Structure 1
Amino acid sequence: MNCTAIIVAAGSSRRMGFDKLAASLGGIPVLARTVATFMDCPDIAEIILVTPQERMSLLDQSRFTKPLIRIDGGEERHLSVAAGLAVVSGKSDFIAVHDAARPLVSQADIAATVLAAKEHGAASLARRVTETLKRSDDSDFMIGAISRENLWFMETPQIFQADLLRSAYRHILEENILVTDETSAIEALGEKVKLIPSTSPNTKITTPADLQTL
């Protein structure tokens, strides 16, 4: 089974106020940590890195043990993924899409998601909702509870049979459907996605406070 990883790193980090992918995490840039995990993962055959050229300086290219192709992204996340899909090798049976801002994903969780995608055609790493959920009115006053049963926080990687993901992206682009992750594109085709519980922290860095908790 041949799996290509598309690592999405095209964002400008506007909410951070600085380039979060260049931020140091244990002395290593966030982007470099993410790429290294997929480089070292036996389940990944090649990497498509969707990021501006200037971010390549964050990486230690002497550690590249498998093919890595860098391409520019689009203005929206789904357009960046579409750009990555366009250069994935035709030999790839499966495609994993991962947010570069999730630098702590484990190789074990990647492997588990690859295995689930092989069995089900589509799988995503995710985390069960465990907090109490409440709904508010427009003035932020609590008005009721929401059951957390069968609710999940979506994570990445999200991994799919290659032709299925290509079909899903053709559909959303042709129909001008805006999606925030690949499972939504698969859902738009009426297909199911198997959810795999993450077994280790897989935080997405969005605000400066997120860096302080890692």
Structure 2
Amino acid sequence: MNKWGAVVVAAGRGSRMGTAESKQYLPLRGKPILVHTLALFERMDEIEEVALVVGSADIERCKALVLEHGLAKVKAVVAGGDERQHSVHAGVKALASELEWVMVHDGVRPLVKPEHIRGCCAVAERVGAAVLAVPVKDTIKQADETGLIVSTPDRRSLWAIQTPQAFRRDLLTGAHERAEKDGFLGTDDAMVVERTGAPVTISEGDYTNIKITTPEDLPWAEFLLGKRERGE
């Protein structure tokens, strides 16, 4: 596998958590959620360096966390933009220029498994772009603005998208530059790349790769992380 750069995005406030503290800094088994995420990449030989994207007011705080927890692969801590898409673009630009492959990961997904990261990267190296995802379990209904159901998509074709999302760097950079020029905002980086016509392929992960977003996610993350620490 090639050497990869990782952009970890942690610039959001996370209003759905309902806490004064931003969700990425909330404690999870004694450490901020964000530190668990960064430590995961720190332990992976395939990851050459990490660019951490945070709110401008949190840059010094995060630099201190990086030093405190020995996160040597975090080479840059940069301010995010008005939208997540702008934050990702800033993070990609902060990585060393010689890195040809880049993944983008949510700072509040500390439970992704290294083997699934490697699998996603391997798919990206074959086709240029890949996203970690899991099959949708529930039946999905599409409704109009009044709540009237207008269609029921075939569940077999539906996937819930996670991160990391992995790309050939020049492909992702070009897609972001085009989106910025066009004034386009996507809901994830894969969408930004998809609109260029480039193929993006799914790499299957698992359901424990949760994004810690709401209060009920925290005890579930505590449980999952505890099981892993016990080797279960």
Give the TM-score normalised by the residue count of structure 1. Answer: 0.92
Q: Does 1:209 align with 2:212?
A: no
In 2, Cα distance between the equivalents of 1:134 and 1:116? Answer: 30
Q: Distance in 2 between matches of 1:2 and 1:98?
A: 16
Task: State the Cα deviation string for residues 18-65 of structure 1 (Å, max 9, x = none).
Answer: 221111222221000000001111111000000131244444644324
1:16-165 superposed matches below 5 A: 16-18=17-19, 19-51=22-54, 52-53=58-59, 54-59=61-66, 61-136=68-143, 138-140=145-147, 145-165=152-172
Supply the distance in 1 between the matched residues of 2:64 and 2:213 (Cα, whole angstroms).
22
Q: Which has the higher helix share?
A: 2
Match of 2:227 in 1: none
The one-letter amino acid of 2:130's match is A
Q: CA RMSD in A?
A: 1.8
Structure 2 unaligned regions, length at least 5 = 222-232
Which secondary structure does the structure 2 equivalent of 1:63 belong to? Answer: coil
Tell me how far 1:143 sits from its aligned partner.
6.3
- TM-score (ref. length: structure 2): 0.85
- 2:91 counterpart SS class: helix
Give how far 1:85 is off: 1.8
> For 1:27 and 1:172, how far apart are their aligned partners in 2?
40
Q: Which residue of structure 2 aligns with residue 2 of structure 1?
A: 3
1:106-156 CA distances to partner (integer Å, 9 max, x unpaired)? 111111111111111111111111212234454546566332121111110
Give identity over the alignment, percent.
34
Task: Count residues in correspondence.
Answer: 214
> Equivalent of 1:189, from 196, 221, 230?
196
